[in-house]
Each structure stands twice: as C-alpha cells, then as structure tokens.
Amino acid sequence: MDRNLIAEPTANQEVHIVDKQVFENKLRKLYHEGQENLEIITDFDWTFTKYKNNEARVCSTYQLLQNSVLTSEKSSYVHQLYDFYHPIEIDQTISPEVKEKHMKDWWEKCNHALLEEGFNKSDLVHFVNNSSLYFRFGLPEFLSKCKNQNIPITILSGGIGNLVETSLKQIQPENGMTIVSNFIDFDEAGRSKEFVMPEVRADKSKVLSGKRFRKNIILLGDLTSDVKMVQEVEYECCLKIGFLNNVEVYDINAFREVYDLLIVHDGDFTAVNSILNIVCKMEGVEVSEELREAYNRISCLN
C-alpha cells in the first residue's frame, strides 16, 4: 500500500521578504504579465521535500537509493568514501579544478557501488514508500495549480531522476513536468544498467544553458547555489524563493543576498501558493498574512 507522502503544515515557519521594494516590483510584473508568461524552475531535494519530518531527517533521493540498495558491507564502504571526500568538498583552500576531480571520483565510486548491487525498476515505488521522504505540505496544491494554469515546471536535481519521477507520480499521477537530473537506465528485464550521461551535480549553473523559457520565472531552492540554475537562462524577471531549512547550519545573510523571499524553519508551500494565486488572479485570491500587504498594494495599483 502506498503511504502518505505529505508532511504536516510547518507551525513555526517564518516568511521573510528580503527587500520589500524589489519583491513588490517583481511580483507586480508577474501579476500584470500573468501565468501565460510564467515558468517554474526548481530544485527537488529539501525544496519540494522536507528537510526534517517530526525531528527525523528526510533523505535525499541519492540517500534513498543508497539506503534501499546497498548491503551493510557496501554501505560501510560508501561511508568511508564520505569520510575521505567530504572534508575535500568543504575545504576552501583546495582549488576548484582539483576539487572537481575529487568530486567526480567520489560520484563515480558511489554510482559504481549502487550498480554493482543493482535493483529492478519495479522496486522504485517500494523504495519510496519505505523511505523517510516527505513532501512539503501544500506541494500537491502547487502542482495542480501549475498544471491547471499551464505553467511549465522544470525540476533540476543533482539527485536521482528516476526517484524524483516515481515519488512525484505518487502525489500527482499526470504531472508532465520536465525533470533534468541523473537517470539510471534499465535493461530489457528491468534491471539497473547504467547512469545516463551527462550527470547533474552540485554546480547547476550550465545545465539549462541554451534552453528556452518563458520570460518570467519563479525559482525555488534550498541552497544559495540553487540560484545558479538560471545563471545562463534568458529571462526578464526571476522571483527567487529560498527555503532556509536550518538556521544553525545555513547562513541567513548569505540567503538574503541571493533570494527575494525566504521561507524559514523548513516551512511549507503556503506562501508559494499565495504567490501563485496572486499571479493567476485566482477567484477570491487566498493570500497568506505575510504577503497580504504586498498583494493589496499591487492589486489596487492596476
């Protein structure tokens, strides 16, 4: 049986508008140009999904696959790799080129371990149901609104595309989203065969280069580096919404520098849905308290 994959609303979340003027100008443009000019570009792990659910960490799609597939022996090997490569990953003194080489080696060794163990395509739903993955409250509403209003969604994820797809299908069977991620190919018998290249890793700045998007974008992410998703994308206006999941781990000032709106303390999709309601001019527009003032100003300045 499929389990519930949606977390409860986040009671203590905070919504911060970083610069009132900038935020309102962007929202006003989105409002006046409407949903037909809007497109969503989003991260997946800990953006669509929660960071924690009832105090327990929610897995990323990569962790989900490792936890589901690896034997304890392989699992301890992967932990050893982490102990070796993670210090390199966060070491500020190592040059980007050297670091990139190490990160590639790490990635390949982990992928090799996964494929050596192997799994069937038909196992994926079971893996999701047995994992600690939870989507944020309000995400299903967000996806249906986008679908009903013909707003395209592109998910750019350094995780596992097959699991992004499988888990989303469980909450929105006909979603038609574009998933740009790392996909595993299966053989005719449905057995895992290989990772399809090119891979999407931490640096997302070039992945969408050359692709065409509508002129207005809402970007969603949970890391400051996620804003790089649009670095090589042409657009007129990009409203950037950041989920700041843990204020003890991530620097709020760094988030304030790159995002227009922060959803703090592992929040839910209520504020994002409000923004969509405003842009789509939904009947009897529902707007959360934090955005009410901005909305009143925008809507009366028709």
d(CA 230, CA 205): 7
Phi and psi torsions of 252, nearest 5°? -60, -35
Residue 112 to residue 118: CA distance in whole angstroms: 10
**Min separation Cβ 226 and Mg ion, Å:** 6
Q: What gap in Å lies between CA 46 and CA 63, rounded to an integer?
A: 12
Give 31 or 107: the residue with its C-beta nearer to Mg ion. Answer: 107
Shortest CB 56 distance to Mg ion, Å = 18
Three-state SS for 208?
A: coil
User: Minimal distance in Å, beta carbon 46 to Mg ion?
Assistant: 4
Nearer to Mg ion, 160 or 291 (CB): 160
C-beta closer to Mg ion: residue 27 or 180: 180
CB-based contacts of 192, cutoff 8 Å, min separation 6:
114, 115, 118, 119, 120, 121, 184, 185, 186
Shortest CB 187 distance to Mg ion, Å? 30
Which residues are at the interface with Mg ion (CB under 5 A)? Answer: 43, 45-47, 222
Minimum separation from the CB atom of position 45 to Mg ion (A): 4
| Nearer Cβ to Mg ion (222/260) | 222
CB closer to Mg ion out of 10 and 192: 10
Q: Per DSSP, what are the bridge partners of residue 41? A: 154, 219
